[in-house]
Amino acid sequence: MMTEEMALLVLEDGQVFQGTAYGYRGKTVGEIVFSTGMTGYQETLTDPSYHKQIVVQTAPHIGNTGVNQQDPESAQIWVAGYVVRDAARRASNWRADGELEDYLRDQQVVGISGVDTRALTRHIRERGAMRAGIFSGSALPAGAEYLTTPVVEALVAIVQASPQMEGANLTDEVSTTEMYVVEPAGDFASKEPLARVAALDLGLKNRTPYHMSHLGMQVYVFPANATFEDLKSVNPDGVFFSNGPGDPATADSQVNLLRAVLDAKIPYFGICFGNQLLGRALGYGTYKLGYGHRGVNQPVLDRTTGKVEITAHNHGFAVDAPTTGASVAPFENGRYGNVEVSHVSLNDGVVEGLRCLDLPAFSVQYHPEAAAGPHDAAYLFPRFLELMQKTAAQEANNA
């Protein structure tokens, strides 16, 4: 293996994996996590929730369908680095208009291929998500190919000096800077909206307003630093908080904004980060998972219907709420009434959804809008529309 094409993946605990440079050559650091999805790698790369994370694909063969202009979930790649086992030599798909490696290189995303991703994933599962770095090209120190103790120690020191994900406030880095509107589409194009939604972009994926617009909703997308007055200015029938990266414990301004929404009894729906923020607004805690849930094959029980859904996940934090029955929301001695955990993970019992029993608000931890699938949870968008229409009808009757 030529030195200029060699790459090293270095974990903060000193574990080193040698491979081949893939994508952009250089250095990158971030929290290393694994995703178990066998399809949808372009959606994964462009998901803002992966900001500052090095993603390991557990599926062995990546890049065979190339890349295209239809599948990205945002305008850029957000992952900090990319780790694959067997990188496709060329794309072979009728929709492809480019190669994955060129896509990574053009956006200066440092990657590594030829890594035993099975062994790497087992290591992360046993030791937990941790910081890591990928080094290739000029970022490799002299003698890197020999993996001498001084070389490894120098690279580990770089990794250990990088920021932790716990305590990271990243929403402003991935959010839109200006409000924009997504009009009703599909069968509802050019028609009067069935509902008006104020959506807070904490790392919003393109597919989210797509789903809402195709159900007849008009979606006003606001920056992460929007105020309650900003949201109220569009006279919304409902408020939505999106997915996003970082530690929910750092999002005090968004939690306070959500409390204003709850106080006004405006229907609320949140996914992923939006679920964690609802939990914190209600007074529950959040905590960091050992290695998180990431992939498109996670089983979740909907306690309302008793059905099991196969769902898409991307989260490293979770809500700490009682799962044995309804509980009084702890904030200000029960100001928001009773709350139940509506969904739970069947793998580890983690809270996967919340439903307020005395307020028009609910949320889920997973991604019902996952473009690459599965689509078992697509019913949640109609459920949000129904909640907004029901609330509006009640207000009209009480007027």
DSSP one-letter string for 221-265: EE-TT--HHHHHTT--SEEEE----S-GGG-HHHHHHHHHHHHTT
Alpha-carbon distance 308 to 324, whole Å? 18
273 known member of a binding site: yes
Q: State the pairing for strand pair 268-271/238-241.
A: parallel
Dihedral sign, CA of 47, 49, 50, 51? positive
Does residue 13 sit in helix, strand or coil? Answer: coil
Beta bridge partners of 206: none
| Annotated catalytic residue 369 | yes
246 known member of a binding site: yes
Q: In whole angstroms, how far apart are CA 21 and each of 69, 233, 390?
A: 25, 50, 55
Instruction: Check 123, 293, 315, 367 and give the catalytic one.
Output: 367
317 known member of a binding site: yes
- CB of 283 within 8 A of CB of 322? no
- CB of 184 within 8 A of CB of 193? yes
| Annotated catalytic residue 375 | no
Block residue for tokens 């896509």: 103
Q: In whole angstroms, how far apart are CA 211 and each of 155, 182, 273, 366, 378?
A: 44, 11, 18, 15, 9
Alpha-carbon distance 41 to 38, whole Å? 8
Instruction: Check 272, 313, 340, 343 and give the catalytic one.
Output: 272
Alpha-carbon distance 116 to 7, whole Å? 13
49 known member of a binding site: yes
CA 88 to chain centre: 26
244 known member of a binding site: yes
DSSP one-letter string for 103-159: HHHHTT-EEEES--HHHHHHHHHHH-SEEEEEEEGGGSPTTGGGT-HHHHHHHHHHH
292 known member of a binding site: no
| Annotated catalytic residue 123 | no
Beta bridge partners of 181: 220
Instruction: Check 12, 309, 352, 369 and give the catalytic one.
Output: 369
Q: In whole angstroms, how far apart are CA 143 and each of 6, 150, 154, 180?
A: 12, 10, 12, 51
| Nearest one of 89, 86, 125, 116 to 18, comparing CA atoms | 116
175 known member of a binding site: no
- CB of 356 within 8 A of CB of 328? no
Helices (H), the chain: 41-45, 100-106, 117-127, 149-160, 171-174, 207-213, 228-232, 252-263, 273-281, 380-398
The residues assigned a catalytic role are 272, 367, 369
Residues forming the annotated binding site for L-glutamine?
49, 244, 246, 273, 276, 314, 316-317
Residues forming the annotated binding site?
49, 244, 246, 273, 276, 314, 316-317
